[in-house]
Amino acid sequence: MDWQKKVVLVTGGTGSFGKKFIDILLKEYHPAKVIVFSRDELKQHEMRVSGFNQPNLRYFIGNVRDRDRLCRALKGVDIVVHTAALKQVPACEYNPMEAIKTNILGSSNVVDAALATGVEKVLSLSTDKAVNPVNLYGATKLAAEKLMVQSNAYAGGMKTRFSCVRYGNVVGSRGSVVPLFLKQRDSGKLTLTDERMTRFWISLEQGVRFVIRCVEQMQGGEVFVPKIPSMTMVDLAKVIAPEAELEVIGIRPGEKLHEVLISEDEARQTIELEDMYVVQPAAALWFGHEWEGRGKPLPEGFNYVSNTNSDWLNVEQINEIIAPIEEDYKQGKLV
């Protein structure tokens, strides 16, 4: 795919992922134009004055809840990377309709606007919390995934295609536990909800490069899942603050001990490749099944869970991941 001929729009473009995605895209792929679509004028201003002021970069104030505004923004756009979401679990639990309006209805608006304006590809970011969800955030992201995948049925003879990327916790992103632990370190005490807890981890740059690959390869209808390592929360806490006391405060509402990236039921229509899994659409008469000849099916009973993962980060690897985030924290770059 020739990115230099493409116009790319990023919903939620001022977020952690959006900024990193746009940075790498502009520096290495040189698209014809990149549009930042987000609702916060202050974040757009701060992004612009921090160096995101290239002549092929545009800023568009808008909310994914507003279908008409999305239709205006998507005119002439070739590729949409949909990252806009309410993602803080406690905030979604306390404000359920707000999460539904942004994460579900907002995704539906992206679909409608893309079909109405003839966008070629829409890739939506999802999360491990969408698999067997136990909180509202996960439930809204599951619904958003289903919307994206099944909306390929509406494309018919049109060129528009929809796919998803699903991965685990992004190290150091806004709201992640790493900045929290860094702040707590000064007090000499770190809070853990449960000592048994494990999570899938991926760096921001790894996530961005995976998304770029998936945009290039997507046929429509797939959910792409990268093979990524697991980490125990105890190990993470000990790397960040080896001398600190660990206080176990109990698991929070809507929180799991271990996360799932592929369920046993999904595994039946999933193809394994060297560095990722591709969940094909179930019982679809359209596209998304072109992957069967490129990989191998998964064995019966397979699931991809953070505590039974074969790939684990050791202390040295965690240190390597944390080092740049700690530097940003010292410089006041983490909020």
pLDDT at position 117, please?
Answer: 97
Decide: 161 and 193 in contact? Cβ < 8 Å: no
In the predicted structure, residue 1 carries a pLDDT above the cut 70? yes
Of the listed 121, 129, 141, 256, which one is catalytic? 129
The answer to whether residue 129 is catalytic is: yes
CATH architecture, range 3-168+202-227+260-304 = 3-Layer(aba) Sandwich (3.40)
Residue located via tokens 């606007």: 113
**Rounded to the nearest 10 degrees, how much is the dihedral formed by the CA atoms of 267, 18, 335, 62?**
-110
Q: What does the pLDDT look like over 53-81, one tens digit per residue? A: 999 999 999 999 999 999 999 999 999 99
Query: How far is C-alpha 169 from the chain's CA centre?
Result: 9
Between 138-142, 180-184, 207-211, the lowest mean confidence (pLDDT) is in 180-184
Greater pLDDT, 105 or 172 = 105
Q: How many CA atoms lie within 13 A of 101 on its CB side?
A: 7
Instruction: Determine the longest span between alpha carbons in the chain, in angstroms.
Output: 61
| Cα–Cα distance for residue pair 148/186, rounded to 1 Å | 43
| Cα–Cα distance for residue pair 133/300, rounded to 1 Å | 22
pLDDT at position 167, please?
Answer: 94
In the predicted structure, residue 287 carries a pLDDT above the cut 70? no
Confidence band, pLDDT 50/70/90 cuts, at residue 125? very high
pLDDT at position 334, please?
Answer: 59
Six token digits for residue 120 = 């070629």
Q: What is the mean pLDDT of residues 270-291?
A: 83
Q: What is the mean pLDDT of residues 28-55?
A: 97
Confidence band, pLDDT 50/70/90 cuts, at residue 283? low
In the predicted structure, residue 284 carries a pLDDT above the cut 70? no
Q: Where are the domains of the chain?
A: 3-168+202-227+260-304
Q: What is the mean pLDDT of residues 124-145?
A: 96
In the predicted structure, residue 226 carries a pLDDT above the cut 60? yes
In the predicted structure, residue 294 carries a pLDDT above the cut 70? yes
Q: Whole-number mean pLDDT of the chain? A: 92
In the predicted structure, residue 186 carries a pLDDT above the cut 90? no
**The pTM of the whole model exceeds 0.85:** yes
Decide: 21 and 86 in contact? Cβ < 8 Å: no
In the predicted structure, residue 335 carries a pLDDT above the cut 60? no
